[in-house]
Amino acid sequence: MKAATELADFRLRHTLRVRWAEVDPQNIVFNGHYLTYFDIGITEYWRAIGLPYPDGIAGTGGDLFAVRSVINYHASAHFDEFLEIAVRAAKLGNSSMTFEMGIFRDGERLISGEMVYVNADPESRTSRPLPEKLRKAIDVYEAGGPIG
Amino acid sequence: MKAATELADFRLRHTLRVRWAEVDPQNIVFNGHYLTYFDIGITEYWRAIGLPYPDGIAGTGGDLFAVRSVINYHASAHFDEFLEIAVRAAKLGNSSMTFEMGIFRDGERLISGEMVYVNADPESRTSRPLPEKLRKAIDVYEAGGPIG
Amino acid sequence: MKAATELADFRLRHTLRVRWAEVDPQNIVFNGHYLTYFDIGITEYWRAIGLPYPDGIAGTGGDLFAVRSVINYHASAHFDEFLEIAVRAAKLGNSSMTFEMGIFRDGERLISGEMVYVNADPESRTSRPLPEKLRKAIDVYEAGGPIG
Amino acid sequence: MKAATELADFRLRHTLRVRWAEVDPQNIVFNGHYLTYFDIGITEYWRAIGLPYPDGIAGTGGDLFAVRSVINYHASAHFDEFLEIAVRAAKLGNSSMTFEMGIFRDGERLISGEMVYVNADPESRTSRPLPEKLRKAIDVYEAGGPIG
């Protein structure tokens, strides 16, 4: 699968507006807040595939924990700008999955990155296979199938 | 009881340093972060009286929820400054209690305020009397008694 | 003027959705984040009256600093809920102004409060009268006049 | 240079305590806050080499912008735990530099990662060589030389 680099490469897009409290004295969004933006986008992803977090995911028998995040900062976002958070499930492993992430402003890619989650037992944190229902919902969604 | 207006009026003081992510484009700490500072101070208060949050409080049969917060902004804090968070239990009602709060920099009061909590059932959120053990630990601490 | 206690008492309403990162281990929005919500509402207020922050306000000769905030917590907000942030300019003094604030969920008031700002010189922080243009834009808006 | 995987591999270590507002309903630190912890560690790094941010860096003619961040989540941090933020300047390029990052609890590595910064003109954001003074201060520090 070709890497997602343009807004059109993502089915899931969610718009938000930069808050004053997210901007630092350099007049740009503080680098850590992009992970909050990623998280918001992924919440919308679960909703879009019909498994709203946390109950929808729990209903499949899954419990997901972040194991890796990568952010590449291409350009800065500023106060009050509208940003589009773009999310694509790029890789489904046995117990882990990878989201490709993008943040765009007027079609310009400001941020690219990825979030890797593993399905794990909430008590022991030992990994478990991704639930079949979760896997299928993602496959249908990314193939352009009906939502939910 | 006279209002606490100087650092010396507070037994509990906790020092922290302003983080870059807490400062906004006006080069001052964003106003909402002072409630995080208050919360840090109150966490230290519970530790100081021997009832560390949340288990120590739970062990008295209490579960506290914020019902009111007030902040007066006298002067601004800036990046990298050391601040002293000062906490005093000022009033113990039947089911609620009030902390007087201060934030100081080199003895200058930047912030004054209060936090009011009510003891409540975590399920129904109906108020319950403050546990006697909690009340006593506070009284001893504020009277200058031994810690813990 | 009667206090604003219902959603219908506010002309400015802005909807947002609670983020995962804003929820604490009690499963409720951490008390400090409501000040971020207030700030978002006030940003929308400035936009609604035609003076978007910060340039619109700066264009009137004003520079506003928070001097007091009050939050009353009536009920808790939870992850993923839609909240309506409601803002009303309730009092215009010589150099200061007070916003009445409300946060509602399905018409139920979860939060009430106020934010007081003073117009001040950004360097010296000495207070200055509210700019006439700012005062007039607020009066027109609250009287139900055209927007902007 | 061998990768830094243990606390002893880092000269710069800074201790902080997890705040209630940083913990999410899974009872673990929300993944985005680790970038705030990284930032706190790097602030301490600049102080340790005698170039406190932002004035010390500005005095070398530098202005640094984050261009990449990576976080690997090995285990979770919880409320009230003491964490050690560990920072090592691992690679100095022409205009960019890479910090290796670690977060430890009682010697156990919870988080590993990296932060890459580029020196750039604050207006045009075009990259510029790292200032010689900055480069030298880092080299001396990492070689075990005197501080400041």
Handedness of CA D22, D26, D27, D31 (dihedral sign): negative
Judged by average pLDDT, the poorest of B82-96, C24-38, C122-136, D94-108 is C122-136
Interchain CB distance below 8 Å, C80 and A52: yes
What is the model's pLDDT at position B148? 56
Do A113 and A70 meet the contact criterion of CB atoms below 8 Å apart?
yes
Handedness of CA C28, C32, C33, C35 (dihedral sign): positive
Question: Residue C24 sits in which domain range?
Answer: 7-142
DSSP, collapsed to helix, strand or coil, labels residue A138 as helix
* D2 — pLDDT class (breaks 50, 70, 90): confident
What is the model's pLDDT at position D134? 96
| Angstrom distance (rounded) from CA C113 to CA C101 | 5
Interchain CB distance below 8 Å, C36 and A43: no
pTM over 0.95: yes
- Is 80 exceeded by the pLDDT of residue C148? no
Residues 18 through 47 of chain B touching chain A, CB cutoff 8 Å? 20-21, 23-25, 27, 30, 32
What is the model's pLDDT at position D123? 78
Interchain CB distance below 8 Å, A21 and C43: no
- Is 80 exceeded by the pLDDT of residue A148? no
Task: Give the model confidence (pLDDT) of B4-54 as tens digits.
Answer: 899 999 999 999 999 999 999 999 999 999 999 999 999 999 999 999 999
* Residue B14 placed within a domain: yes
* A122 — pLDDT class (breaks 50, 70, 90): confident
Task: Give the model confidence (pLDDT) of D112-140 as tens digits.
Answer: 999 999 999 877 889 999 999 999 999 99
Question: φ and ψ at D102, to 5 degrees?
Answer: -145, 150
C27: nearest CA in chain D?
Answer: D25
D139-148, long-range: CB < 8 A, 24+ apart: D139/D92, D140/D49, D141/D11, D141/D48, D141/D49, D141/D89, D142/D11, D142/D88, D142/D89, D144/D11, D147/D48, D147/D49, D147/D50, D148/D48, D148/D49, D148/D50
* A76 — pLDDT class (breaks 50, 70, 90): very high
Q: What single-letter DSSP state applies at residue D22?
A: G
Contacts of D52 in chain B (CB under 8 A): 80
What is the model's pLDDT at position B146? 78
| Angstrom distance (rounded) from CA C137 to CA C134 | 5
Task: Give the model confidence (pLDDT) of C8-50 as tens digits.
Answer: 999 999 999 999 999 999 999 999 999 999 999 999 999 999 9
Residues 87 through 116 of chain A touching chain B, CB cutoff 8 Å? none
| Beta partners for residue B7, in sequence order | none
Higher pLDDT, A125 or C107: C107
B33: nearest CA in chain A?
Answer: A21
* Residue D1 placed within a domain: no
What is the model's pLDDT at position B124? 81
Q: What single-letter DSSP state applies at residue D57?
A: H
Q: For A50, left (φ over 0), alpha (ψ -120 to 50), or beta?
A: left
| Angstrom distance (rounded) from CA B20 to CA B118 | 33
Do B34 and B103 meet the contact criterion of CB atoms below 8 Å apart?
yes
What is the count of structural domains for chain C? 1
- Is 80 exceeded by the pLDDT of residue C1? no
What is the model's pLDDT at position D65? 93
Interchain CB distance below 8 Å, D67 and A68: no
| Angstrom distance (rounded) from CA A11 to CA D57 | 42
Going by their DSSP bridges, the two strands C64-73 and B108-119 should be labelled as unpaired
| Angstrom distance (rounded) from CA D70 to CA A113 | 9
Interface contacts (B, D; CB < 8 Å) = 28
A26: nearest CA in chain B?
Answer: B25
* Residue B148 placed within a domain: no
Match 């604490």 to its residue by tokens: C24
What is the model's pLDDT at position D146? 78
* D1 — pLDDT class (breaks 50, 70, 90): low
Task: Give the model confidence (pLDDT) of C96-113 as tens digits.
Answer: 999 999 999 999 999 999
Q: What is the CATH number of the domain that holds C24?
A: 3.10.129.10
Higher pLDDT, D125 or C66: C66
* Residue D24 placed within a domain: yes
What is the model's pLDDT at position B69? 98
**Percentage of the residues of chain A whose pLDDT score is greater than 90:** 88
Match 């239990």 to its residue by tokens: B89
Contacts of B80 in chain D (CB under 8 A): 43, 52-53
Contacts of B25 in chain C (CB under 8 A): 54
Rg of the Cα atoms in chain C: 16
* Residue D2 placed within a domain: no
Other residues' Cβ atoms within 10 Å of the Cβ of residue B31: 26
* Residue B99 placed within a domain: yes
- Is 90 exceeded by the pLDDT of residue A145? no
C33: nearest CA in chain A?
Answer: A21
Q: Which residues contact A35 (CB under 8 A, 6 or more apart)?
A: A69, A71, D31, D32, D35
Task: Give the model confidence (pLDDT) of A101-114 as tens digits.
Answer: 999 999 999 999 99
- Interval B68-73 mean pLDDT: 98
* Residue A116 placed within a domain: yes
* C62 — pLDDT class (breaks 50, 70, 90): confident
* Residue A120 placed within a domain: yes
What is the model's pLDDT at position C146? 78
Task: Give the model confidence (pLDDT) of D17-68 as tens digits.
Answer: 999 999 999 999 999 999 999 999 999 999 999 999 999 999 998 899 999 9
What is the model's pLDDT at position B116? 98
What is the model's pLDDT at position D122? 77
DSSP, collapsed to helix, strand or coil, labels residue A72 as strand
- Interval A29-41 mean pLDDT: 98
- Is 80 exceeded by the pLDDT of residue B147? no
For residue C12, give the H/E element and its range.
Answer: strand C12-17
